[in-house]
Amino acid sequence: MSPNAAPSEASTPLIIPELVRLDALPGSSKKDVIEYLAQVVASAGRADTPEGLAGDAIAREETAPTGIPGGIAIPHCRSPHVLAPSLGFARLAEAVDFGAADEQAADLVFMIAAPAGADDVHLQLLAKLARGLMNTEFTDALRKATTEEEVARLVTEQVEPDPADGEQAAAEPAVADDASAPAEGGTVIVGVSSCPTGIAHTFMAAEALEQAGKERGVTVRIEGQGSGKIDWLDPALVKRADAVVFAHDLPIKGRDRFAGKPMVDVGVKAAVNDAGALVDQALAAMEDPNAARVPEGGDASDDAEEENVHWARRLQRSVMTGVSYMIPFVAAGGLLIALGFLLAGYDVASLYEKISISDYSLWNLPGSEFMHEIKDSSDTVVATETISVSRSGMLLYIGWALFLLGKAAMGFLVPALSGYIAFGLAGRPGIAPGFVMGFIAGEVKAGFIGGLVGGILAGYFAAWLAGLNVPRWLRGLMPVVVIPLGTTLVVGSLMYMLLGKPLAALMTAMQNGLTSMSASGSAVFLGIILGLMMCFDLGGPVNKAAYLFATAGLDAATADKTAPYEIMAAVMAAGMVPPLALSAATFLRARLFTKAEVENGRSAWLLGLSFITEGAIPFAAADPLRIIPPSMVGGAVTGALSMVMHVGSKAPHGGIFVFFAIDNFLGFLIAILAGAIVTCAGVLALKQMAANKKAAAGDVAEIAAPAAA
């Protein structure tokens, strides 16, 4: 086989003698060893370039060392440069340090090279190899082998699939084989292991924990949540388990299956390095009533059956992903613009379009007057104008720079929204086309509506391409070339040719309606609606929709067009009300709240002042019917008052701490205080009614008890 020929058979073995080197001397560093093995893999026709494979493996190595106790190293990666799943092996004449926990240098080095689109069958074989590396008999045999053919045979026997494996892989859902059922009444520990790559450490940790359990006479079953299909633990075994061990670097899928059980929660390397200690900790946790336990309920992103999530729920989650990634751009950009206004004055907003900041420096500071040349289409100066600003010198120069930094950050608002919506729907292949759709939305003046639509279309189209059953030789190119190229071409063409103008017209109509509403008597109604939305789910999708609506308008605001500033102020003020009101309520009537709620109340005031509405979530989760309705009423009051008093905020975040960017700051405080008083009074009234009802029920029970006796 020529070095550049791609393996063509679907049953290409993971290791052949050409991938083995015995008593090699590649160099004294792990970088030398990785580059050596990448060359071995490429020379066998398993990678297109050794440099590309080595670069990806070294990048993976930098995230965490791949040395494991016993003189073994397993550098590994998933790479688009890999043409077929392969195992490069080198037995080193001089051991090289790979950062193992026992500080023993490695003389057995496996390079696990998987294509970016490796299929489940090959990933199962790689998992078996990873488990085998925890077996001393297997590693001793590798050290004693005399030929490359013998090493290839030993490894092949270790990863040889059972005849039933094909059937197992096809089952939905697959359940881990449990041939050796635990003895009746014996101790059972279950758990989950996972690592970022999902190839090596995931399954080595699982094997190490299960072996440590055997040494202690305890049944241990670990579910490896690696790449490809997951062999889910038997639900009956999970139900029977006495304790749980999580050895993971990624979120646990299906975590709520283990709710209520004593828990040991560590990184995956801890299990590889000292599995026995973790099993001992789990055994101790079984006897400790104060031991940490798996909490009730699970994170939405951890569903064991992610592929079965309803399309509407998945879409909503993806939009929220886009919003959450967008907010840092908004916060950074908006606050920098506000600081720029504070230092340089508001006329810097028009100055930057006519005068270049690069004409000045810290040693050549600008004055308060500038000459601006007006040129025609042939770049000929036809007139000049004098521009006067309210500041000069250092304050103007620094404020100008901060303003430009903020404008740059705000320029990523819609692309980030669109890019990460596509990421939520299609994973990494959706990011690039999603960002492009966000940029196109700005080009065609479609704003955040165009970003939403473009991101959703890019995400769905990229996900569809990713699900195609393409030839094996093409799989490695799909996530890095085919999907981004195809999605950008198709969806980008749609955005420019068909959707751009209608979306831009819709955005313009919305902005015009917003301006007219805030300038008329309808401003109060708009403030009420925004206040209700901000407090409906206290940081959830409805809250984020209102926030997105407000922040998207900031970029269009001007000195003469202040409606977007007023909307931003109403949204921020209403979002501050719930945590502030609940903090006050716990202070005024602590006996109506649980001890945990009183503790939360001690910090909720600071969250409220910072415009972090989520500070009220612990209260709402415990008693939604008595928390959310008063919060909505208070938010509506605040939103209405803020609009009536024409409060404006040039900063999209920061709460009371961006006072310098708020017009009519006194009105801002009055609106927040009024809403907080309404919410606090409503919560206390509802809580007191519930307490009175409970007390009355208790009195009835006491009276009825003697009669029953």
The DSSP line for 551-610 is HHHHTT--SS--HHHHHHHHHHHHHHHHHHHHHHHHHH-GGGS-HHHHHHHHHHHHHHHT
Is residue 177's pLDDT more than 50? no
Q: What is the pLDDT of residue 697?
A: 64
Q: Number of H helices and number of E strands within the chain?
A: 25, 14
User: What radius of gyration, in Å, describes the C-alpha atoms of the chain?
Assistant: 31
Q: What is the pLDDT of residue 705?
A: 52
**pLDDT tens sequence across 688-709:** 888 887 777 665 555 555 544 4
Q: Could you tell me whether strands 243-248 and 263-266 are parallel, antiparallel, or unpaired per DSSP bridges?
A: parallel
- Tell me the catalytic residues: 76, 195
For residue 385, give both structure tokens: 């104008």
What is the average pLDDT across 110-120? 72
Q: What is the pLDDT of residue 681?
A: 94
Residue type, 58: I
> pLDDT class for 168, splitting at 50, 70, 90?
very low
| More reliable by pLDDT, 514 or 340 | 340
| More reliable by pLDDT, 554 or 149 | 149
**pLDDT tens sequence across 625-666:** 888 899 999 999 999 999 989 898 887 777 887 788 788 999
- Give domain 17-159's CATH superfamily: Mannitol-specific EII; Chain A (3.40.930.10)
Please state the pTM of the whole predicted model: 0.49
Please say whether the beta carbons of 88 and 19 come within 8 A: yes
Q: Is 333 helix (H, G, I), strand (E, B) or coil?
A: helix
By CB atoms closer than 10 A (0-12, 13-18, 19+), residue 437 is buried
Q: How many residues does the chain have?
A: 709
Say how far residue 206 (Cα) sits from the centre of its chain: 25
Q: In the chain, what percentage of residues exceed pLDDT 90?
A: 20
DSSP-assigned letters across all residues of 238-303: HHH-SEEEEEESSPPTTGGGGTTSBEEEE-HHHHHHHHHHHHHHHHHHHH-TTS-BPPSS--GGG-
DSSP-assigned letters across all residues of 209-256: HHHHHHHTT-EEEEEE--SS---BPPHHHHHH-SEEEEEESSPPTTGG
Q: Could you tell me whether strands 243-248 and 219-224 are parallel, antiparallel, or unpaired per DSSP bridges?
A: unpaired
CA 663, 669, 673: angle at the middle one, nearest 5?
A: 155
> pLDDT class for 305, splitting at 50, 70, 90?
very low
**pLDDT tens sequence across 563-590:** 788 888 999 999 999 999 999 999 998 8
**pLDDT tens sequence across 189-229:** 999 988 765 556 777 788 788 888 888 889 999 988 765 56
Q: What is the pLDDT of residue 515?
A: 58
Is residue 310's pLDDT more than 80? no
* Separation between Cα atoms, residue 208 and residue 134, nearest integer Å: 6
- Give domain 188-294's CATH superfamily: Response regulator (3.40.50.2300)
Torsion of CA 583, 588, 590, 592, to 10 degrees: -100
Q: Give the DSSP H or E segment for 433.
A: helix 431-443
> pLDDT class for 454, splitting at 50, 70, 90?
very high
Torsion of CA 422, 424, 430, 432, to 10 degrees: 70
Specify the DSSP class assigned to residue 361: B
For residue 475, give both structure tokens: 């799989």
Q: What is the pLDDT of residue 375?
A: 72
What is the average pLDDT across 128-156? 84
Average pLDDT of the chain, as a whole number: 79
* Structural domain spans, the chain: 17-159, 188-294, 318-492, 521-695
What is the average pLDDT across 354-359? 80
Q: What is the pLDDT of residue 300?
A: 39
Residue of 576, 580, 551, 577 whose CA lies nearest to 651: 551
Q: Give the DSSP H or E segment for 86.
A: strand 86-96
**pLDDT tens sequence across 512-544:** 666 566 555 577 888 898 899 888 877 666 777
Specify the DSSP class assigned to residue 461: H
Q: What is the pLDDT of residue 6?
A: 43
